[in-house]
């Protein structure tokens, strides 16, 4: 599904991503772990076209994404839940959701309505607030809206950046349940998350990043591999 080959990203003279190689199979959840500032978010931004790679390639089902503008990458079925959620000011919950439908080819109005109702059934709190401005929701509700905005488009690839940050445990459980549901629907997911144990529970494989380089990878269900991961990112 996704192949990242020898990817490099610079911010000015700073070499933030250095020769990263990552793969994700169809329907996999791949955890991306590491301490703050090691390049995890930059990696996701490079995939979605928010920052330009300085080398290497990003391929989604044999289609090159690197070099494409963000709107074209979105049209390839790539959804992004950024760390700061990016809820559009001045738009209601439902209007934010409708923007998520732009990820894929145009559907009929009946199909679009069906997709939004599917989200409301899964997240009744959003249904109750459908006419409310998205930016007036609580932090947990805004995170759910950001997830739902991607989920409504049924992406082939979903990039999710720190979804549990600053949220109460009950909301965190809901967020990870949504990730599991996206996986069941067939999405391939790259998950950046500081809550390593919770993320490993939903992941199939993982990569650890340090100073912009992959320093460990393995099976998220293998206890030896998980122990090595925890040791790697804690030193």
For every residue of 70-103, DSSP letters joined together read: HHHHHHTTEEEE-TT--PPTT-BHHHHHHHHGGG
Distance separating alpha carbons of residues 226 and 216, to the nearest angstrom: 10
**Residue in 20, 21, 44 with CA at minimum distance from that of residue 190:** 44
**Whole-angstrom distance, CA of residue 110 vs CA of residue 26:** 28
What digits encode the pLDDT tens for the residues 201-220? 999 999 999 999 999 999 99
Mean pLDDT estimate for the chain: 91
Segments making up each domain of the chain, as ranges: 2-89+139-144+154-234
CB contact at 8 A, 130 and 92: yes
CA distances from 99 to 61, 114, 214 (A): 24, 15, 34
CATH number corresponding to 2-89+139-144+154-234: 3.40.50.300
Per-residue confidence (pLDDT) for residue 62, from 0 to 100:
87
The pLDDT of residue 206 is 96
Asked if 120 and 41 touch (Cβ cutoff 8 Å), the reply is no
């Amino acid at each position: 599904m996704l192949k990242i080959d020898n990817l490099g990203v610079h911010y000015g003279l700073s070499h933030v991503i250095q020769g990263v190689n990552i793969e994700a199979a169809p329907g996999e959840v791949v955890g991306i772990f590491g301490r703050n500032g090691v390049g995890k978010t930059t990696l996701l931004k490079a995939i979605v076209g928010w920052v330009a790679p300085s080398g290497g390639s990003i391929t989604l089902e044999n289609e090159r994404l690197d070099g494409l503008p963000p709107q074209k990458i979105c049209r390839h079925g790539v959804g992004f839940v950024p760390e700061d959620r990016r809820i559009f000011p001045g738009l209601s919950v439902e209007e934010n959701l409708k923007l998520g439908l732009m990820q894929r080819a145009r559907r009929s109005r009946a199909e679009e309505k069906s997709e939004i109702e599917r989200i409301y059934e899964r997240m009744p709190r959003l249904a109750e607030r459908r006419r409310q401005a998205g930016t007036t929701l609580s932090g947990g509700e805004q995170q759910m809206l950001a997830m739902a905005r991607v989920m409504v488009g049924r992406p082939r690839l979903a990039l999710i950046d720190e979804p549990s940050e600053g949220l109460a445990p009950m909301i965190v459980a809901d967020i990870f349940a949504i990730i599991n549901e996206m996986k069941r629907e067939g999405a391939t997911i790259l998950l950046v998350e500081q809550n390593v144990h919770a993320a490993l529970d939903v992941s199939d494989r993982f990569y650890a990043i340090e100073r912009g380089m992959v320093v460990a990878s393995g099976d998220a269900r293998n206890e030896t591999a998980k122990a090595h991961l925890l040791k790697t990112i804690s030193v």
